[in-house]
């Protein structure tokens, strides 16, 4: 099942969710935190290029993900979920979407406006699209370096909520994000 239904995430949404999460947590954050600390040289150049190109790829995937979401039903939350928890879930998800767009945009603007290259898989230098502007680059840098901590804090909350659903409420929320065919508790299993 590729498309979402009112009860389940389809394969496309699931693949996009986990690919974006893996690129952020396993590539972007480790590369971002080490690339400035290893000192100039080949390793630093590889880490910077990987960080920039993976960031651009993740931005494209985030846009595809949002378009796919608008073109598909969004699975409903369990009917017995307290309204405040449903509100926090919606707020958290909205924030996560905002952050996965704002991180690559601020990183791109900071790099390009500071006069550094942004390689598009070594085919073009996207930095040429934006004029060098050092004061604006400093603002974009501050946004990039502060938003990462907001993103990580929201992800911790998000993961805690997913575990609460799975281990305490024992509903199908985590399972339906792991597989489009997962067995769901009675009442959530219609599809
Ligand atoms: C999801 C996308 C991204 C995430 C999660 C991310 C995350 C990070 C992190 C964790 C750092 C290290 C922060 C620190 O040292 O305190 C960083 C630094 C940096 N990022 Fe990103 N980044 C993303 C996208 C991008 C993109 C697309 C570019 C450029 C095209 C970029 C350019 C940079 C640069 C140049 C730095 C070094 C900042 C400095 O001078 O200290 N980032 N990023
Ligand atoms: C950087 C990492 C992550 C990001 C940016 C992220 C982002 C998101 C977003 C935006 C949604 C809402 C989907 C929508 O309504 O369209 C979502 C749903 C979900 N996420 Fe994550 N996520 C991340 C990591 C994780 C991890 C590590 C877990 C599990 C341990 C997880 C579990 C879930 C679950 C179970 C849902 C489905 C909620 C539902 O069915 O209503 N996420 N995620």
% pLDDT > 90, the chain: 94
pLDDT band at 20 (very low <50, low <70, confident <90, very high): very high
Q: How far is CA 177 from CA 43, 54, 99, 113, 124, in A?
A: 36, 23, 20, 38, 36
- What residues are in contact with ligand 2 under a 6 Å CB criterion? 17, 20-21, 24-25, 69, 74-75, 77, 93, 96-97, 100, 155, 158-159, 162, 173-174, 176-177
109 has pLDDT over 70: yes
- Residue that the structure tokens 């039903």 belong to: 73
Per-residue confidence band for 183, with pLDDT thresholds at 50, 70 and 90: confident
24-56 per-position pLDDT tens digit: 999 999 999 999 999 999 999 999 999 999 999
Whether the per-residue pLDDT at 189 is higher than 60: the answer is: no
> Of ligand 1's atoms, which has the minimum distance to the CA of residue 145?
13
* Ligand 1 atom, smallest distance to 126 CA: 30
DSSP state of 57: H
CA of 51 to the centre of ligand 1 (A): 7
Q: What is the pLDDT of residues 49-86, one digit of tens each?
A: 999 999 999 999 999 999 999 999 999 999 999 999 99
Domains of the chain: 11-178 (1.20.950.20)
Mean pLDDT of 122-141: 97
Q: Are 75 and 9 in contact (CB under 8 A)?
A: yes
- pLDDT-derived band at 187 (thresholds 50, 70, 90) equals low
At residue 14, the pLDDT reads: 98
- Residue 6 has what pLDDT? 94
Count the neighbouring beta carbons within 10 Å of the beta carbon of residue 152. 14
Rounded Cα gap, residues 173 and 10, in angstroms: 13
- A 10 A CB-CB count for 130 gives 16
**What angle do helix axes 11-22 and 42-70 make, rounded to 10 degrees?**
150
Instruction: Tell me the pLDDT of the chain averaged across its residues.
Output: 95
Ligand 1 centroid from CA 90, angstroms:
26
């Amino acid at each position: 099942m590729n498309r979402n239904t009112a009860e389940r995430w389809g394969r496309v949404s699931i693949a996009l969710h986990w690919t974006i999460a893996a690129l952020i947590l396993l590539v972007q954050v480790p590369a971002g935190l080490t690339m400035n600390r290893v000192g100039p040289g080949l390793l630093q150049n590889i880490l910077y290029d990987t960080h920039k190109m993976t960031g651009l790829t993740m931005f494209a995937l985030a846009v595809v993900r949002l378009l796919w979401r608008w073109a598909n039903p969004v699975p409903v939350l369990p009917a017995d979920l307290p309204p405040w928890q449903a509100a926090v879930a919606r707020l958290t998800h909205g924030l996560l979407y905002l952050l996965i767009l704002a991180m690559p945009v601020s990183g791109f603007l900071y790099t390009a406006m500071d006069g550094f290259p942004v390689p598009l898989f070594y085919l073009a230098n996207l930095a040429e699209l934006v004029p060098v502007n050092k004061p604006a680059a400093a603002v974009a840098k501050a946004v990039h370096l502060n938003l990462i901590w907001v993103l990580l804090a929201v992800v911790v909350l998000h993961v805690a909520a997913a575990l609460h659903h799975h281990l305490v409420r024992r509903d199908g929320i985590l399972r339906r994000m792991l597989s489009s065919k997962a067995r769901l508790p009675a009442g959530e299993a219609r599809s």
